[in-house]
Chains A and B, each alone.
Chain A
Amino acid sequence: MALAKTCCGAIKRFRLELPNFMNPPPITVLQGARTYKQHSYRYNKELYRRRLKVGPIEVTPRSKQLNWNEDVELEAFTHRISEKLSRVGVRQAFTDMSYSRSTAQLVKEVIGDSVQGQELDALDTSAGNEQMAESGDNLARKFIKDFIKVQFPHLPEEGVGSILEFLMSTGKLAHVGKHLGITDLILYDVPLVSLINEEQGEERACAFVRDFIITQLIGEDIDAIFPITSAMTRLVGLLEKKGQGEPISRLLEHCGQATAVSCYFVGIYSDNELIGKAPGETLEIAEEMAAHDALMSLYGIQENRLPFDFNTTYKQYGILNSGTQPTLLSSEQH
């Protein structure tokens, strides 16, 4: 009944404008009706039944609809990301290998030799984005790795790898691409890094990665991306390596000891200094979690760390090419 009521507006439009039925304009007014006409109940019900029979509205991408000017869209896209890129290059970056092959064949078959120039070259079989994707992926990975190493100097290699995989996962890149508005333009955004590298230089490419991909780390819990397992064993090993005293656990607080919902706070001490503290349902869990907390502060990924420094200029060529330990230089030095 309620559904029939809500569909009423759409159905009326359907009756009047039959050709527009598959893509009806959005229903803007659904609430605010003071009365419900009971005499039109059977009529609405019939319309509702017909609507269900037709099935869901097919979603057509914007690029398949009318008034789609790809050149303008590509131009707008380059302005959106504030880069000066050639249109041919962008089109190539946005063209998947499989797509480029099939389209080029189709164009040749249909139009034959009458078409010439850049348009056809861009659609040539060699003009897919496979190579660009690969080199872009390499560059982005290298830069992200160095960036994380500068931000978290004490994080082990394993943790750096976890964060890198998190940022370069298909889901995350698809998310970034979607919000850069490339859904209708393509299909993948890593080739774009390679394109910027070629046309604007490595520094701009790294800035692109930093601004659009690494910023996805903001608000993320590093601990969830890089889950630390068997914390106590790790902590013992790490403290031994650093030459500090072995960890000693102490019960700091507790409440409801004799109840089913008890809570314990355990602190970890090394050389008479509190290096970690955490709650837990039992003493064992609290101790493990305290070791976890101590590890997080030793790795420099504790909750109350400073925010990421995106403003400082990195000596990117130094980082990327020399292969030495990445260093942070302030903007004045650079």
Chain B
Amino acid sequence: MHDRRRVLQWATFARSWWIFDANHQCPFQSANRLCLFLEGKHKPIYHPLSDCGDHVIVINTKHIAMPDRFWRAWRHFHHTQYAGGFQVQRAWQVHREDPTKILKKQIYSTLTGNLLRKGLMARLHLFPEEDVPEGMLRNVSNQIRQVMPVPKTLEDYPIEERESFPRVFEWPEEYVVKDGKEFERQKEYLDEDLSLSKLQ
């Protein structure tokens, strides 16, 4: 093989590095998209038995957005194989323990269950925030498009615009909003869910 053929071969099988911002992204839809890149399905040389996938760096996994009531309703199961070793955790509990775990487990279950899966998972690099090591960031050559638009929060609007927005009424100066009321109501729901899980 002469030099030109050799470098063409090298370029064909070179592993690219991609970056994906998981900020306000649905983990289920994100997993579907990321798996394409991990398995190398975006390449013309793809074959299910060939290990031609790319590296994917995911940042902001702490700020993913679960759809609907899934923070409370989506459950992660585990069994130690011993009697009474069954455990179940809500998504919000899992996320509180490890902010990368929901996306990681979702990608793991979306990938095809074969002997390549372990190697593909090794090429997935998850970070809760944007603090990617400098050496890893140097490898990146492209980014993966987000699966949904990031919503604009109230803080993103300038103060002038917020102030000038028309209101139905304004609180009187002396009115005090009862602090923590909303939080307590949410806590009741959560306790209810936890008691349900204990029953199972």
Task: Give the interface of A toward B (CB within 8 A).
Answer: 221, 223-224, 227, 253-259, 261-263, 265, 278-281, 285-286, 289, 292-293
B16 within 8 A of A: yes
Query: In the bound complex, how far is the Cα of B166 from the Cα of A215, in angstroms?
Result: 82
The residues of B that contact A279 with a CB separation of less than 8 Å are 7-8, 10-11, 14
**Could you list some 5 contacts between A and B, CB below 8 A?**
A255-B141, A256-B17, A257-B139, A259-B139, A279-B11
Across the interface, do A263 and B11 meet the contact criterion of CB distance under 8 Å?
A: yes
Across the interface, do A258 and B4 meet the contact criterion of CB distance under 8 Å?
A: no
Q: How far is the CB of A303 from chain B (nearest CB, A)?
A: 9
Across the interface, do B2 and A227 meet the contact criterion of CB distance under 8 Å?
A: yes
The residues of A that contact B4 with a CB separation of less than 8 Å are 223, 278, 289, 292-293
Given A253-B141, A256-B17, A263-B11, verify A292-B3 contact (CB < 8 Å).
yes
B69 within 8 A of A: no
Across the interface, do A224 and B14 meet the contact criterion of CB distance under 8 Å?
A: no
Given A224-B2, A227-B2, verify A255-B8 contact (CB < 8 Å).
no
Binding site secondary structure of chain A: mixed
B42 within 8 A of A: no
The residues of A that contact B2 with a CB separation of less than 8 Å are 223-224, 227
Given A223-B4, A292-B3, A292-B4, verify A255-B10 contact (CB < 8 Å).
no
Q: How far is the CB of B180 from chain A (nearest CB, A)?
A: 48
B136 within 8 A of A: yes
The residues of A that contact B172 with a CB separation of less than 8 Å are none
Across the interface, do A280 and B7 meet the contact criterion of CB distance under 8 Å?
A: yes
Across the interface, do A255 and B15 meet the contact criterion of CB distance under 8 Å?
A: yes
Across the interface, do A257 and B138 meet the contact criterion of CB distance under 8 Å?
A: yes
Across the interface, do B7 and A289 meet the contact criterion of CB distance under 8 Å?
A: yes
Across the interface, do B7 and A256 meet the contact criterion of CB distance under 8 Å?
A: no
Q: How far is the CB of A268 from chain B (nearest CB, A)?
A: 14
Max chain B Cβ within 10 angstroms of own Cβ: one of A221, A255, A279: A255
The residues of A that contact B17 with a CB separation of less than 8 Å are 255-256
Query: In the bound complex, how far is the Cα of B7 from the Cα of A293, in angstroms?
Result: 12
Query: In the bound complex, how far is the Cα of B141 from the Cα of A279, in angstroms?
Result: 14
B158 within 8 A of A: no
Query: In the bound complex, how far is the Cα of B7 from the Cα of A223, in angstroms?
Result: 14
Across the interface, do A289 and B14 meet the contact criterion of CB distance under 8 Å?
A: no
B135 within 8 A of A: yes
Query: In the bound complex, how far is the Cα of B16 from the Cα of A262, in angstroms?
Result: 9
Query: In the bound complex, how far is the Cα of B7 from the Cα of A279, in angstroms?
Result: 6
